[in-house]
Structure 1
Amino acid sequence: MALGLPSVLPGSQPSIGELIRDGAPTFSFEFFPPKTPAGDRLLWQAIRELEPLRPSFVSITYGAGGTTRDTTVDVTERIATETTLLPMAHLTAVNHSVAELRNVIGRLAGAGVRNVLAVRGDPPGDPTGEWIAHPHGVRYAEDLVRLIRTAGDFSVGVAAFPYKHPRSPDIASDTEYFIRKCRAGADFAITQMVFDAEDYLRLRDRVAAAGGDTPILPGVMPVTKLATIERSEQLSGAPFPSALAAQFARVADDEAAVRQLGIEQANQLCTRLLDEGVPGIHFITMNRSTATREVWLNVGTRV
Structure 2
Amino acid sequence: MNATDQHRPAFSFELFPPKTPEGSAKLKTVIAELAAVAPEFFSVTSGAGGSTRAGTFETVAWLRRQGLDTAPHLACIGSNPDEVRALLAGYGAQGIHRIVALRGDLPSGTGTGSAGAFRYANELVEFIRAEHAADFHIEVAAYPEYHPQAPNPARDLENFKRKVQAGADSAITQYFYNADAYFGFVDAARTLGVEIPIVPGIMPITNYTQLARFSDACGAEIPRWARRRLEGYGDDLESLRAFGHEVVLRLCRNLLDGGAPGLHFYTMNQSGPTLRLWADLGLST
TM-score by length of 1: 0.88
Q: Note if 1:149 corresponds to 2:129.
A: yes
Structure 1 residue aligned with 2:238, among 256, 260, 267? 256
Cα gap change, 1:209 to 1:183, in 2 (>3 Å): same
Native 8 Å contact 1:21 1:215 kept in 2: no
- Whole-Å separation in 2 of the counterparts to 1:198 and 1:156: 26
In structure 2, what is the equivalent of residue 240 of structure 1? 222
Q: Which structure 2 residues correspond to residues 114-263 of structure 1 after superposition, within 5 A?
A: 114-125=97-108, 131-132=112-113, 134-135=115-116, 137-152=117-132, 153-263=135-245
Q: How many residues align?
A: 283
Instruction: Report if aligned partners of 2:177, 2:221 keep a CA contact under 8 Å in 1.
Output: no
Between 112-121 and 242-251, report the one with greater CA deviation: 242-251
Aligned to 1:54: 38
Alignment partner of 1:34 out of 10, 14, 18? 18
Deviation of the 1:234 alpha carbon: 4.1
In structure 2, relative to structure 1, the CA distance for the partners of 1:36 and 1:259 (3 Å cut) is: same
249, 253, 257: which one aligns with 1:271 = 253
Deviation at 1:132, TM superposition (A): 4.6
Alpha-carbon distance in structure 2 between the residues aligned to 1:70 and 1:102: 15
Amino acid at match of 1:63: G
Gaps of 5+ in 1: 1-13
Provide the C-alpha distance between the structure 2 equivalents of 1:21 and 1:202, rounded to a whole number of angstroms.
26
Q: 1:293: which partner in 2?
A: 275
The answer to whether the aligner puts 1:111 opposite 2:94 as a matched pair is yes
Q: Note if contact 2:145-2:181 (Cα within 8 Å) is conserved in structure 1.
A: yes
SS of 1:94's partner is: coil
Q: Report the TM-score when normalising by structure 2.
A: 0.93
What is the DSSP-based 3-state SS (H/G/I as helix, E as strand, rest coil) of the residue aligned with 1:169?
Answer: coil
- Of residues 193-202 and 227-236 in structure 1, the stretch that sits farther from structure 2 once superposed is 227-236
Identity %: 37
Cα deviation for residue 48 of structure 1 reads: 0.7
Match in the other structure for 1:73: 57
